[in-house]
Chain A
């Protein structure tokens, strides 16, 4: 990264200036050990990178990390089938802890895919996405505890209410420019959280809603009353795992279909150039609203499942950092790319679980990673492969096709 040692020394001096007051000054004393430790790590890391670059010549660490793929080639079919088998048998070969982590990964995959429609496909930065997750979760929680409505009935209702929330929030905001939209969605996300926190009569405020029932299924059974339906609550993690797996797969299939549909094309056109999209006859406001509502629906589904899994919801699950986390998944994985989001969600949920001791550093690392990705690899870990309309026509190289479109 640091090609010249001089540049690196300047970097270290800056790091020292910025870290010194934060780390080394304490109540009238200078405490050096923490600062020296951090500076040591920085210097050591930088020297390692420089040594690697010098040894490899030409092929720097950056290009090795970003340009090279896997060193070996596995046939695609083998990879896909291995993946399917692993995903299917996972709950039978792992303990509850691993199942819980896997369920969380799947929830975040569903959330990431939903946000991907809004951010990745339509290019609208939504910083209050978790609000729809909250709406879905609270809808199921309240319908279930107040009116005893079961999960399967509440799920579509949760979708509907999330979609409604998406419309209400989306309609006035979508006429705004991209960066204003970001701050307004952030505002809406906070408003919903504050309302959930303070509307004691309905949401029970910060105490949250307790006693939510797990989803249940009916199955035919022969009991003493003859043939009847017995109710099975899907409380254990294996059931919940398969349930969220199905929900995540449905989301994935839906997003995949949308990706290559007329609507998906329209979203991408809006993302690339709104004015041009409008001139080619795309109803941009309607398309943006549609992206927003669909994103809200997927978040609502994930939210309802979350409430059913934890069986307790409170406003502190829906803070801004959660929105940032989902956004980080989308950005890290690659905006608009489904495999990227799966990988991103797995990385962001599993890595902190593996390094439990480093829990504190989690959010700082995510924030840093977000900027790092934007600067060095804005297309994400697994970039989206969009079939571009120009290249569909024939074997026109991408650049040429683009040039033609512009002229």
Chain B
């Protein structure tokens, strides 16, 4: 039982991270119908900025004195940087292709994905970059299972981000513009909504969430690598599809489910095949229910 509980906790932690990445995929897909392949690399870039900021602060001695402040600063910088990166990405690779064929757009995205991951390799080296060992200790014991401080932090952090996102999308003017553009770009443009601005906003939000996930992964696993965005990127996309692409709640639930499935499959079936299960879920969902689990209800969380 305690093994089961432990696996559940691990699964939820991983799932929260996937959910954060999946939100970016689902929002971008909802608004311009593009699988943003470079999203996984934006997530990796977030992880890199996190480690760069934290080791800078540690070397300057800031981390010893104000660890919480340092952590927040790292998150803020990573999210800020990735927002810039996403704006540049959209401007360079996607905006000139508005109205071009879907294949061209997809190939452009793929090119940027390869460019980013190899660019990060050129800038930061081929090897793993270790996070400062600073926040790893401590945890709680719940019924025989241990939940570490880091796991609590990741879950709480992602829930806060997701709630903020939901409030933003549902309550603000810009969020309303996003929903309108996702539903019908031409119509919303006629009604005076600036489509370009809305699309950029979508990219910025998606990238910030992915950056936060990148820092969390770095803290959780202790290191980052230039090609770490590829597999989580596909899994997060699988999560977005599972939840019904374009659906925010769906992406969150899908992310949690993919995380759980991966951890349980690794724990109880075969750990060396853990990456396969997400793909199999993706294929099965696309074959039997392409609209995803949340796809039927066309509610207003559709972005």
Number of A-B contacts (CB under 8 A): 160
The reply to whether B287 and A327 contact each other, CB–CB distance below 8 Å, is: no
Query: A184 contacts which of B114, B231, B283 (Cβ < 8 Å)?
Result: B283
- Shortest distance in angstroms between A11's beta carbon and chain B's nearest beta carbon? 9
- Shortest distance in angstroms between A197's beta carbon and chain B's nearest beta carbon? 8
| A145 within 8 A of partner (CB) | no
Q: How far is the CA of A366 from the CA of B114 in the complex (A)?
A: 8
Q: How far is the CA of A21 from the CA of B118 in the complex (A)?
A: 16
Interface string of B30-59 (1 = CB under 8 A from A): 000111000000000000110011011011
Residues of A within 8 A of B77 (CB): 21
Binds B, one of A53-61, A215-223, A356-364, A385-393: A356-364
Interface of A is mostly: helix
Residues of B within 8 A of A127 (CB): 110
Which chain B residues numbered 219 to 246 have a C-beta less than 8 Å away from chain A? 230-231, 234, 237-238, 241
Residues of A within 8 A of B121 (CB): 360, 364
The reply to whether B103 and A125 contact each other, CB–CB distance below 8 Å, is: yes
Which B residue sits closest to A187, measured CB to CB?
A: B279
Which chain B residues numbered 60 to 113 have a C-beta less than 8 Å away from chain A? 60, 77, 81, 84-85, 88, 92-93, 96-97, 100-108, 110-113
Binds A, one of B13-21, B139-147, B270-278: B270-278
A19-B123, A28-B58 known; A374 and B107 CB under 8 Å?
A: yes
Residues of B within 8 A of A176 (CB): 286-287, 290
Count B interface residues, CB 8 Å: 62
Which chain A residues numbered 319 to 334 have a C-beta less than 8 Å away from chain B? 320-321, 324, 327-328, 331
A22-B123, A29-B59, A183-B35 known; A368 and B115 CB under 8 Å?
A: yes
The reply to whether B35 and A182 contact each other, CB–CB distance below 8 Å, is: yes
Residues of A within 8 A of B85 (CB): 18
Q: How far is the CA of A183 from the CA of B105 in the complex (A)?
A: 14
Q: How far is the CA of A355 from the CA of B118 in the complex (A)?
A: 17
Query: A123 contacts which of B56, B93, B103 (Cβ < 8 Å)?
Result: B103
The reply to whether A22 and B286 contact each other, CB–CB distance below 8 Å, is: no
The reply to whether B106 and A125 contact each other, CB–CB distance below 8 Å, is: yes
The reply to whether B272 and A198 contact each other, CB–CB distance below 8 Å, is: yes
Q: How far is the CA of A321 from the CA of B115 in the complex (A)?
A: 12
| A224 within 8 A of partner (CB) | no
A173-B283, A363-B114 known; A190 and B275 CB under 8 Å?
A: yes
The reply to whether A180 and B34 contact each other, CB–CB distance below 8 Å, is: no
Residues of B within 8 A of A324 (CB): 110, 114
Count A interface residues, CB 8 Å: 56
Query: A364 contacts which of B49, B53, B115 (Cβ < 8 Å)?
Result: B115
| B204 within 8 A of partner (CB) | no
Interface string of A5-48 (1 = CB under 8 A from B): 00000000010011101110101110000000000000000000
Residues of B within 8 A of A28 (CB): 55-56, 58-60
The reply to whether B290 and A22 contact each other, CB–CB distance below 8 Å, is: no
Q: How far is the CA of A368 from the CA of B33 in the complex (A)?
A: 22
Which A residue sits closest to B245, measured CB to CB?
A: A180
Query: B282 contacts which of A18, A187, A331 (Cβ < 8 Å)?
Result: A187
Q: How far is the CA of A56 from the CA of B287 in the complex (A)?
A: 55
A21-B81, A125-B103, A191-B276 known; A183 and B114 CB under 8 Å?
A: no
Residue among A187, A328, A364 with the most chain B CB within 10 A? Answer: A187
The reply to whether A125 and B107 contact each other, CB–CB distance below 8 Å, is: yes
The reply to whether A327 and B107 contact each other, CB–CB distance below 8 Å, is: yes
- Some 21 contacts from A to B, beta carbons below 8 A apart, are A18-B81, A18-B84, A21-B49, A27-B55, A125-B106, A175-B287, A177-B290, A178-B103, A183-B35, A187-B282, A188-B283, A191-B279, A327-B110, A361-B118, A367-B113, A370-B114, A371-B92, A371-B107, A371-B108, A371-B111, A374-B108
Q: Can you name 16 extra interface pairs (CB under 8 A) apart from A180-B286, A320-B230?
A: A27-B55, A173-B283, A173-B287, A179-B35, A198-B273, A321-B114, A328-B111, A363-B114, A364-B121, A367-B112, A370-B108, A371-B93, A371-B115, A374-B93, A374-B104, A375-B96
